[in-house]
Amino acid sequence: MAASAADMFSFCMDPGKVALGVEVRFIDNVKGKGLFAKRRIKKGEVIFIERPLVCAQFLWNALYKYKACEYCLRALETAEENARRLAGNPALSLPYPELCPVQAQLHTVCPQCQVMYCSAECRQAAADQYHRALCLGPSHEDPDHPVNKLKDAWRSMHYPPETSSIMLMGRMVATVKQAKDKAHWQKLFSHFCSRTANEEEELAHKLLGDKFRGQLVVLQDLFKEALYYDHLSRWFLPEGFRSLFALVGTNGQGIGTSSLSQWVHACDAVELPSQQRAQLDSFIDQLYKDIERETGDFLNVEGSGLFVLQSSCNHSCVPNAEASFPDNNFLLHLSALSDIEAGQEICISYLDCCQRDRSRHSRHKILRENYMFICSCIKCTSQTDDPNMTSEEEEDDEAEAEGETEGDDMEDEMTDV
């Protein structure tokens, strides 16, 4: 059986405490570790449920008024509030409002800095783990506070779509700072790969090169000013900061939550007469068209987290497992996309569906720059003799990006981590 959510809470405090149907094994010096099945897993089965050691909402996402629980990233807007904002229609009314899962009466705030939580339990959990060290109190809106200066600098260098957040690193620091057993938390964070280069493949992360050196120096200085803690002094030195930056960049798992999508799923499950079903489906289709016209694809509360088990999963362009967040919070469900035999490696994809459909050359380019390895999965191996041609879609993207660069004298920004 898959581990329960309660078991996974224990697991995150002490990996190895919970007996799961998976195990982490060392593979070799190139791939490092991997996650393997200890038993047969059927297609569609939830392999495990895991919560992150730390997570954080993307800073642009928060600035664009996507309200989320500061601790678990649960969306705080009701489905109707969310739909009104995204569609630009303050008079919009959703049918079946009782299907919205948001319980606004349970929402609460930190009395000092006013950040929001979905429940008193999340507020207490955040306070116990990291928030006391990060709470800005009455300075939460002061642009000159060192933490806010750090956030502003990150946003100025890292435009949407974000894939990580400097505050993920901040919460790592704050967690160790508040912990009674600091060595235990440092050991947990050491489970994640933090190399800044793959020397065997002669690859380096694209954001740790000369092109972004000046931006990294600025971020390091602001990070030190805002969060310095003597016990973690190596994290604030140039090489330690680069390693920390690489850690969140290569291990951070995206998290997405949405009260609107939860409402839509609930509507799909309701049994209705055929005419009412057609009317509801038509309403939802039109709603998404209105949202696409007003907002585009930027729909959900988005953030990233560090998951111990999930981060042990290696990449494949033909994955046999995928992560999802059906509880509308930070709990990651890893589910099997196909039958997995005992002893078989469990692999996810670091690429989205569209990227996986690109040429081998295109896929390798993305993986080299962002994850510092060359894929040798069954799909890539079967395409070894394919010409090194970049997919047309990527060529169009690159041509567009080059055109924007030529017309813009601004320093290159960190558009991906």
How does residue 393 score in pLDDT terms, banded at 50, 70 and 90? low
Task: Name the percent of the chain lying above pLDDT 90.
Answer: 65
Kindly report, residue by residue over 195-206, the tens digit of the pLDDT: 665 555 555 555
Query: DSSP secondary-structure letter at 340?
Result: B
How does residue 161 score in pLDDT terms, banded at 50, 70 and 90? confident
Would you say 252 and 164 are in contact if contact means Cβ atoms under 8 Å apart? yes
Which residue type, as a one-letter code, is found at position 191? H
Instruction: Summarize the confidence of residues 101-127 as an average pLDDT.
Output: 97
CA-wise closest residue to 325 among 304, 347, 346: 304
Instruction: Summarize the confidence of residues 308-336 as an average pLDDT.
Output: 94
**Hey, what's the torsion of the CAs at 115, 120, 125, 127, to 10 degrees?**
50
65: region left, alpha or beta (phi > 0 left; psi from -120 to 50 alpha): left
Q: What is the pTM of this model?
A: 0.86
Instruction: Summarize the confidence of residues 143-155 as an average pLDDT.
Output: 96
Mean pLDDT of the chain: 86
Which residue type, as a one-letter code, is found at position 9? F
Query: DSSP secondary-structure letter at 71?
Result: T
Whether residue 159 is predicted with pLDDT greater than 80 in this model: the reply is yes
CA-wise closest residue to 69 among 333, 334, 328: 328
Joined together, the tokens standing for residue 308 give 């111990």
Would you say 176 and 230 are in contact if contact means Cβ atoms under 8 Å apart? no
How does residue 286 score in pLDDT terms, banded at 50, 70 and 90? very high
Tell me the helices (H) and strands (E) count for the chain, helix number first: 16, 14
Whether residue 397 is predicted with pLDDT greater than 80 in this model: the reply is no
Whether residue 185 is predicted with pLDDT greater than 70 in this model: the reply is yes
Which residue type, as a one-letter code, is found at position 202? E
CA-wise closest residue to 345 among 10, 18, 49, 31: 31
Q: Look at residue 407 in the predicted model and tell me its pLDDT.
A: 38
Kindly report, residue by residue over 164-184, the tens digit of the pLDDT: 889 999 999 999 999 999 999
Sign of CA dihedral 276, 281, 284, 286: negative
> In sequence order, what E strands does 161-300 have?
197-198, 203-204, 253-257
